[in-house]
Amino acid sequence: MIPRYTRPEMAVIWEPQTRLKIWFEIEAHAADAQAELGVIPKEAAKAVWTKAGDVVFDVARIDEIEREIKHDVIAFTTHLAEIVGPEARFVHQGMTSSDVLDTCLNVQLTRAADLLTEDIDKVLGALKRRAFEHKMTPTIGRSHGIHAEPVTFGLKLAYAYAEFTRARERLVAARHEVATCAISGAVGTFAQIDPRVEEHVAKAMGLRVEPISTQVIPRDRHAMFFATLGVIAASVERLATEIRHLQRTEVLEAEEFFSEGQKGSSAMPHKRNPVLSENLTGLSRMVRAYVTPAMENVVLWHERDISHSSAERMIAPDATVTLDFALIRLADLIEKLLVYPANMQKNLDRLGGLIHSQRLLIALTQKGCSREDAYKLVQRNAMPVWRGEGDFRSLLKRDAEVKKFLTDAEIDQQFDLGYHLKHVDTIFQRVFGTS
């Protein structure tokens, strides 16, 4: 986790003290269940909570123990015994390290998912507000980066709103899938611990019971979680890339907010660069990069190995922290985005009416011209305009073959910008539930 791209709200989920606190809660809840089953004394379970429930664990001391014994969970239980005293001998009975580690990781991932869901809600809120603000602001639609037909800037933002709505649904599903608990002991057979202990811990930690674990919770769950983060990051980059293009000097239909005193270049004082969008592009690439090791972690030897462990210690905090930062930055970028309708209109007019070529094609076919001939007629009048050699509408009106099918008034009708926007309300109704 790099401080530059880390928000404290997400960072705290991955801090050592948070992890140790979750470890303690898992162990203490398991002790409670063991006590209720008569496996350990109830006084011992109570002592664990009484003596260590409010303790700030000594991370340095645990690290010191681990350097000697080379095992993180045993280092923790050893330190816990220093705090609790003789009753600590009843802690961790019948459990294996993965019971603690995997259940803890899933608690952290669900907390991270909850925060990321809140982030997406902020993005959705900004997109919806700006979409309705520019619902009928006409702009050019592009395919292959080339002017195609008119859209509205509100529709561009509505596209993104729909995409992030799907992102939210996927994240909620991924959270549900990863929110499982395993307290099943070595190789997952419950030979040394009653399944009812797992049920108790799962409920106490806000998780569901893992139906069948080996010595670890199956990593296909985690692979889907990180894959979902990767798809969300791709959506972040798609929108960021759109803004980067729109801010190009030759386009300048929208622009990132440029604050008083902000500097764009160390060399050129005039520069106003899309630095936030470019930053989001880079951060999105990093989140997607974590998907591959998550996929590879699915493949473990037999009932358990730890080839996944080192990767997860990095990708879990880094992927969630990075995406959290990116989503909040994106929400702020959209909220403050500068939009230039006059430049949008200028770009709409740039090709001298060529953006209406399909309407002319259809109009000709409706008047009896074959589609093949109609295409040739429209294209032969369009190409000179593309080269800067005339006005599309005027050329069409001077084309004798076109005039066999269309009057001047009928040609003029095909250049109505509003025609392209007649179903915007319908689209908004579909996306937002209201127009």
**What is the C-alpha end-to-end distance of the chain, expressed in Å?**
42
Place of tokens 């429209």: 378
Beta bridge partners of 255: 338
Residue 106, token pair as written in the block:
């899933």
Residues in the chain: 435
Catalytic residue among 144, 259, 270, 302: 144
Place of tokens 């604050």: 259
Beta bridge partners of 59: none
Question: Side chain identity at 220, as an amino acid letter?
Answer: D
- Radius of gyration over every alpha carbon of the chain, rounded to an integer in angstroms: 30
Secondary structure class of 185 (helix, strand, coil) = coil
Q: Which H/E stretch holds residue 399?
A: none
Query: Distance (Å, rounded) from C-alpha 134 to C-alpha 154?
Result: 5
Give the closest residue to 99 by CA, choosing from 80, 115, 79, 77. Answer: 77
Are residues 83 and 199 in contact, defined by beta-carbon separation less than 8 angstroms? no
Catalytic residue among 176, 184, 259, 265: 265
Query: Distance (Å, rounded) from C-alpha 232 to C-alpha 224?
Result: 12
Neighbours of 164 (CB within 10 A): 24
β strands within 239-330, DSSP E:
254-255
Whether 265 is catalytic is yes
Whether 71 is catalytic is no
Catalytic residue set: 144, 265
